[in-house]
Amino acid sequence: MREIVLDTETTGFDPSNGDRIVEIGCIELVDHVPSGKSYHCYLNPERDMPADAEKVHGLSIGFLSDKPLFADVAAEFLEFIGDAPLVIHNAGFDMKFLNAELGRMGAELLPFERAIDTIVMAKVKFPGARYSLDELCKRFAVDLSDRTKHGALIDAELLAQVYLELLGGRQKTFSLAPTGVTEMHAENAVAVRQRPEPLPVRITAAELAAHAAFVTKELGEGALWKKLETPAAI
C-alpha cells in the first residue's frame, strides 16, 4: 500500500486572506515504511513574508524570490502524490492551502477524504494530551535534534515516524510461533510448572451415572460421548 506523508509551509494561516504556500515536502511510504522516495520544493508566493511566519520556518522573500510558482510545479507534485492517501498533521490546514493553489490555476481539487489526519489519530490514542508534532515526537522518542526551525521536508520525515508509532509502533509486523515465545517478550516469559500431584477427580459417581443415562436417552447408543474415557485427573 502506497501513502504520502505531506507537509507545507506558508506565509500565514488563511489562503482566503492571500496567504500562499512557500514549501512542500512529501515522503513516500510503502506498507507504512519510507521507500526512500521524496518530493520537495520551495515556492515563490508572489507576496511579502510576514515576520511571524518567517520566524517559524526561516524562509525570507529574498530566498524565495527566484523559486518557481506553484503552477510551475503542480504537474510534478500531482504526479508524485498520484492517488495515494495523504498523511497530514492537521490535514484541514494543508488541504485548504493546496486546494486554494489548485483552484487558483483552475485545476481539479484534492478531495478531503484522501487525507489521514494524524491529529485525529493522536486524539483517539491519547485523549486529553497535547497533539503538536513536537509533543508527539517527544512522546515517541523521535529525534528532533536536526530540527531548528519548521521545514516541510524534515517535518514530513518526522511525521512519517510518528505515524508509524500511532499505527502501533516500529515493530508493527510479527509472527505467531506455535511454540516458545517471541524474542521481544522472552525476558518476561514465565515457565509453566506442572503439578507434582494431579488434583483428584471432582465428579461424583452419581453425576457420572446421571450423565451417561442422559447421553443414552437423548443421543443414543452411538453417541460420541460414549467413546470418551472417564474424565481424568486435572
Enzyme catalytic residues: 150
Among residues 166, 155, 24, 160, the alpha carbon closest in space to that of 87 is found at 160
Task: Calculate ∠ Cα 28-30-36, nearest 5°.
Answer: 45
Q: What whole-number distance in Å separates Cα of residue 28 and Cα of residue 86?
A: 10
Taking the C-alpha atoms of residue 8 and residue 73, their distance in angstroms, rounded to an integer, is: 14
Grid cell in block for residue 139 = 512522546
Gap between the Cα atoms of 194 and 230, Å rounded: 22
DSSP string, 5-19: EEEEEESSS-GGGT-
Q: How far apart are CA 50 and CA 60, in angstroms?
A: 9
CA separation for the pair 36, 143 (Å, rounded)? 18
